[in-house]
Amino acid sequence: MIVGIIGSGTMGSGIAQVAATAGCVVKVFDTRQEALDKSKQALEKILTRLTQKDRIDEIEKNRIQSNISYVSSLKDLHDANLTIEAIIEDLDIKKKVFSELESYVSATTIIASNTSSLSIASIASSLDKPERCIGIHFFNPAPLMKLVEVIPAVQTSTHTTEKVVQIIGDWKKVVAIAKDTPGFIVNRVARPFYGESLRIYEEGLADIATIDWSLKTLGGFRMGAFELMDFIGNDVNYTVTETVFKAFYCDPRYKPSFTQKRLSEAGYLGRKSGKGYYEYGDDIVQPQPNKDTALSEYIFNRVLVMLINEAADALFWNIASAEDIDNAMTKGVNYPKGLLAWADEKSINWCVTMLDDLYDEYHEDRYRCSPILRKMNKENKTFF
């Protein structure tokens, strides 16, 4: 199989490595030669590290590298069976690239986008054969993260979806099929992890270190919300939140934070800029959390119930199956448990009561309980 990758940044390069490792002939396209050179050098560095750790041998390293070539013209992707675009999150640019690409590839070539939040239907509309278009959303770093969201548009044919699910499975990834709605599964369901943590901070209920400590210690999350936003980049994380907020017609559940907006505007982007919610450097002493038990439990429970509510609402609106939603969160963003399974563990009644208490306190639609939780509570049902 011949796979074309459009964009040689971190994500495009990672997807190329995955496909090449699975035995595909891969062509990585970029308009900038320096970007292609950087991608090739990065792959060499990654594979050398894997050989040093005895994860692969020299024969395997050479096999993977020999499967990848680097091209500077879209025309060079003419013989690709599958193309995956991983460029800037700009709808107009993507549509322009897709329209041009279609003029070079065969009538049976699958044309996919790795977009994390843009409408696949809108991207597909740029094609003469939109039924061949689909979303294939990898998570960073693509070679390590097991989850891939597959997003059929309303135009996507059943054959295209089935073929892509088979291909991604052959690449040894876990597939979660999602409806073409803003944020798909992960970027939608994960919003409260950041948003509610920011809300708690902005209300002055706890400082950043305490909120992060509570989520890691009580929740088992690998990183606190502020650590993770600094790792992702405040500019990137804020843009995704703003995109989802606007796409959902300004639903208050996805309302962006002025705190994050101001940090992004100031250039305090996190690790990549040396300063975000935390400062980074050799001599920096990080702030210590307040380890008050009652406060920590309140923080964790408040963030958790908002996450559960979002996951439940995704199921209510048939965005994905319960299994795919939980797989998406555990394998896409490394949550310690699936959120719907977590809801069963805490009890549906606990979820409804907690959400109703928050709504009674704030009287904001942000805290409205998903209808599916309320119905399940009345019928004494669980997700699994």
Both tokens of 286, joined, read 């990080």
C-alpha torsion sign, points 223, 229, 230, 232: positive
Phi, psi (deg, nearest 5) at residue 222? -65, -35
What is the spatial distance between Cα 304 and Cα 298, in angstroms, rounded to a whole number?
10
What is the spatial distance between Cα 37 and Cα 47, in angstroms, rounded to a whole number?
16
The residue annotated as part of the active site, out of 8, 13, 113, 116, is 116
Give ∠ CA 8-11-14 in degrees, rounded to 5. 85
The residue annotated as part of the active site, out of 102, 149, 227, 310, is 149
Residue position matching structure tokens 């025309």: 75
Q: 147, 176 in Cβ contact below 8 A?
A: yes
What is the spatial distance between Cα 349 and Cα 351, in angstroms, rounded to a whole number?
5
The residue annotated as part of the active site, out of 67, 187, 214, 264, is 187
Closest to 77 measured CA to CA, from 107, 102, 94:
102
What is the spatial distance between Cα 243 and Cα 254, in angstroms, rounded to a whole number?
9
Give ∠ CA 173-7-142 in degrees, rounded to 5. 25
The 3-state DSSP class for residue 136 equals strand
The beta strand positions in 109-214, using DSSP E, are: 110-113, 133-138, 147-152, 174-177
114 among known catalytic residues: no
Phi, psi (deg, nearest 5) at residue 27? -120, 120
DSSP lists the bridge partners of residue 148 as 138, 175
211, with CB counted inside 10 A (0-12, 13-18, 19+), is buried
What is the spatial distance between Cα 232 and Cα 211, in angstroms, rounded to a whole number?
18
60 among known catalytic residues: no
Closest to 339 measured CA to CA, from 359, 318, 310, 316:
310
242 among known catalytic residues: no
187 among known catalytic residues: yes
The residue annotated as part of the active site, out of 85, 137, 214, 327, is 137
Mode of pairing for the β-strands spanning 133-138 and 110-113: parallel
Mode of pairing for the β-strands spanning 2-6 and 82-85: parallel
Active-site residue set = 116, 137, 149, 187
